[in-house]
Structure formats: structure tokens, C-alpha cells
Amino acid sequence: MAQTTEPQPADPQPAEPRAPLAERAAAPAVLPEPDPAATGLSWRPLTRADVPALAALVARVEELDAQPFRTSEAEVDEWFDGEWKDLARDSRVGLDADGAPRAWLLTDSSPGDVRVVRVHLSGGVDPQWRGRGIGRALVGWGTARARQRLVESGKDVPGRIFGFLEDHRTDALALYAAAGYTPIRFFTDMRRDLSRPLPEVRAPEGVRIVPWSDELDEPVRLAHNEAFADHWGSEPRTPEAWRVGRAMFAPQWSHVALDATTGEVAGYTMSGRYEHDWAVAGFTSGYTELLGVRRAWRGRGVAPALLEAAMRSFRADGMEYAELDVDTANPSGAHGLYARLGYEVTHGAVMTSIEV
């Protein structure tokens, strides 16, 4: 789930004393492994050798579930990137008698989390293998493993076990609800027709917009961590975590706002080129994945200027739409900003979680 929200208040900290995370997590000593006899599948951890077959399974699942996007093989391959990941402990794949993958689940936790330790669950079940309790077994295993990961973090802060689901996936939402998850945040995807005249945006005072460059990558990471320090659900990104997941990154569509006097990073926008989504969507587009403005530069029109620069770069490459997503509970007015710039809501997603 990409986010392009404006900064907002951080996760509230409990006012009353709480038990240590190691106690609250209630991590099991032994994981409830999916039962081969009950599921009809043999189970083992995922490996990078599974990528081609796993990507084909992901594509079948997304087609059946009418997802408004598709996950490319390159993106599936990126699931295995990151020195902090231990796929032997943090993943499971179910194989049929011919050795073909029919279901999978991954847990992941970013190493930079400091305010809230988050563990993300993602997975799916082959359409032909549903109705056998496989999804229930996977969510049960993944939740138990996530509880262990909260304890293994060694951090005594709030914990969150969560997944992202498109809001039309009532079956998946019910599955997670039965496992103790509750919807906690809602997001909407928005798009802007680039055939219409682009918005007239005033140039931000004391700031210049420049193209993305490798030299600015690390300064932008540091700026991102500062800009999103007061953003709900966001945590600092380590240098490695910042670089993971860029298979679809489009530097030619990304921009940086610099202070005209000091050269400091004031804001930034990072965009992706998801060509494999275009056939499903029925149009070409550029997707703004991150938009951030540091506190000292807010209120100068930096965010609109960055979005307008992104739109111009999309249109210059022949894209039909500009896309992004926004947290519906964002109190900063980001949704209104996007609407004023011509973005319209298309569909939504839900973050469902267990708060620990």
C-alpha cells in the first residue's frame, strides 16, 4: 500500500502504565503450522526459487478477486530483499502433490520501527483451493509468528499486527475479523485526468523544484523520516529499508523541493510506473507513492507544486492519469488538497489490525 498523505499526529501513546510488550504480545512457544492432512498441501518456507511460480499464483488470485492492480514478477522478487528478513521463519507456502504453490503467507517487520513495532501480513489462496480452511490456517500461523516477532524486536513500545485489504474483499475482511483483527484505518485511491488543463499552482516562495537524482536520495530519506515523524502509522526508514521495493520506481517522474538559499531538502515526491496495471485499469498512469514536506517549509505551497511537477512529468511521457492514495482520517486536509487539484476517488482499501 503506497501512501501519499500529508503529515499528521503520531500514534497516541497510552496514558496509563502498560505491561511490557513481551507480555502483551502473548507469543506462543510453538507455531500452529498448517496441517497437511486438513489442507491437502505440504508446507515449507518460501525461497527465491519460488518467485516465478509464486508470481503466477499471485496473478490468479488478483484476477479472481477483481483487484484493481496486478503485482509483477519483479515486485514478487522484491519480497525476498532485505538483510533483516528471515524467510525460513517468516513465510510459508503450501504445495500440491505436483509441487505447485497453492497458498502463501509472509510476515514482515521494518527494522527502523521505534514508536510502534509493526508486523505486516500478506498472502493468498489459489481460487481452486478455497473453502478448505487454508486461509484460516495461514492467518492463524501468521498472527502467531507476528506475536513472536513483536517479542523478538526487543522494543517495549506499542505493537501492531496488520494487513491491507481492498474494501470490496468482504471475504478476506471476515477471515481476518474471525482471527481477531479490526479495521483501524481506511484509504482511498484517487486519480486525475491529465487531458484536462493542469492546475495553476503558484511557485513556493524560497523553494525550487528539481528532478530526482542519486545524490539527493539519502538527503530525501532523512527528510522523509523527519516529515513523517508526526504521521499516523509511519516509522523511520533505515538506509536499506529505504532502498528496498523500488522495482517500479520512476526517478524521471520524481522531484525534490530544495530551499533556494541553503539547498536543504524541503519536500519531495516519489512516483512509480506500474505498466502491468494499465490493462486492468484501462488507462496509463503515473503513481505518486510518497509526498512529504518538512515542517519548516509547510504552508508555502510546496506540496501542490510537487504534485503539479509530477503531473507535468507524467503527461510529458504520454500518461493519461495521475494517481495517488490518501488516508481518509488524515486531519491535515490532504484529501481536500488533492480534490482541489482535480483528483477524484476511484476505490478504497482497509488496514485491519490487532493492536498490542
Strand order from edge to edge, sheet including 265-272: 42-44, 91-95, 101-108, 117-125, 159-166, 344-355, 182-193, 321-327, 285-293, 265-272, 255-259, 207-211
What are the structural domain ranges in the chain? 21-186, 189-349
195 has pLDDT over 80:
yes
The pLDDT assigned to 8 comes to 45
Query: Rounded to an integer, what distance in angstroms lies between the CA atom of residue 286 and that of residue 272?
Result: 6
Where does the pLDDT of residue 331 fall: very low under 50, low under 70, confident under 90, or very high at 90 and above?
A: low
Q: Say which CATH topology domain 21-186 has.
A: Aminopeptidase (3.40.630)
The string of DSSP letters for 218-250 reads: HHHHHHHHHHTTTSTT-----HHHHHSS-TTB-
295 pLDDT tier (thresholds 50, 70, 90): very high
pLDDT at 71 over 80: yes
The pLDDT > 70 percentage for the chain reads 94
- CATH topology agreement for domains 21-186 and 189-349: yes
With the CA atoms of 336, 278, 78 and 213 taken in that order, what torsion angle do they form, in degrees rounded to the nearest 10?
A: -60
Q: Reduced to 3 states, what is the DSSP secondary structure of residue 289?
A: strand
Give me the mean pLDDT over the 149-160 stretch: 97
pLDDT exceeds cutoff 60 at 191? yes
- Mean pLDDT over the full length of the chain: 94
The model's pLDDT over 76-132, given as tens digits with 9 standing for 90+, comes to 999 999 999 999 999 999 999 999 999 999 999 999 999 999 999 999 999 999 999
Backbone angles phi, psi at 255, to 5 degrees: -140, 155
Q: Find out whether 313 and 253 touch, Cβ atoms under 8 Å.
A: yes
The type of residue at 319 is M
Q: What is the CATH number of domain 189-349?
A: 3.40.630.30
Higher pLDDT, 6 or 184: 184
